[in-house]
Amino acid sequence: MSPYQAVSQDLVKSLELKYEPVGVTLFRETDALPGDIPRTREKLKSYCQALVWAGEGRTLLLKAEEMGCKLGTSVLGLEPETEAFIDDGVLEKYGVGLFATEEASAATIRGSRYLEAGKTRAALIAPLSALKEPPQVVVFTANSEQVMWLLYAVNYEKGGCLDLPQSGGALGGCSDITALPLLTGVPNVTFLGLGCRLKSAIDSCHLMMGVPGSALAGIHAHILDLAKPIAMLKKAQAGVGA
């Protein structure tokens, strides 16, 4: 049994998640790839789509050429040269009418967080329950209420205001909830963006949340700590004792 199977089952059951939490590990140039996981040869539309597929049960070992979206692979450090892809992304986002000017589009794309170009060799994106080693990032695809409970779990001990930086609706899955937790060590939520939603085909009410792998144990424990208020809300929504 995977060491994360019970954790994943608890989170899915407690929050009534449609998608299983997903573990993400990025392998650098000098890292050995897992020998027991075959490389995925299917051509995906994007990293965001890979997150959804993994949440549905697929284990994916991907290099840049399988991941589709060149902005996403640039953000994740899978491309040795990124400038042309970033420029193309600026023009694409402006061209479809997401921004009033090319300058506004450029400010959004260039203001996002990127991992070091060319330093990532491959990405393992898998259901949390299938993992044998700790993931670098855990991604939840969840509706707004489920994200609310996850944020309560993040803030359970410390309290205070939560800082949730946004890419501006351009690089949600790759930058907001993967690169940012990796670079800063803090959880984050994304409202995604047009391209993310088109390529992942997730429901309109779903968001994504990424947390550093090191935060998983605390989030798991605190979701269990929150059983009473979670049950309180479910009861009220069922019209019992409202």
In this prediction, residue 240 has a pLDDT band, given cuts at 50, 70 and 90, of: low
Q: What is the mean pLDDT of residues 15-28?
A: 98
Tokens of residue 81, six digits: 């040269």
Query: pTM value?
Result: 0.95
To the nearest whole number, what is the mean pLDDT of the chain? 96
Torsion of CA 131, 156, 11, 231, to 10 degrees: 170
Confidence of residue 2 (pLDDT cuts 50, 70, 90): confident
Which residue has 């994740």 as its token pair? 76
For residue 124, give the 3-state DSSP assignment: strand
- Selection from 53, 66, 68 nearest residue 20 by Cα: 53
Model confidence over 126-136: pLDDT tens digits?
999 999 999 99
Q: Where along the chain do its domains lie?
A: 5-237
Note the pLDDT of residue 242: 47
pLDDT in tens, 188-198: 999 999 999 99
> Any long-range contacts for 104-111 (C-beta under 8 Å, 24+ apart)?
105/170, 107/168, 108/167, 108/168, 108/169, 108/170, 109/71, 109/170, 109/171, 110/86, 111/167, 111/168
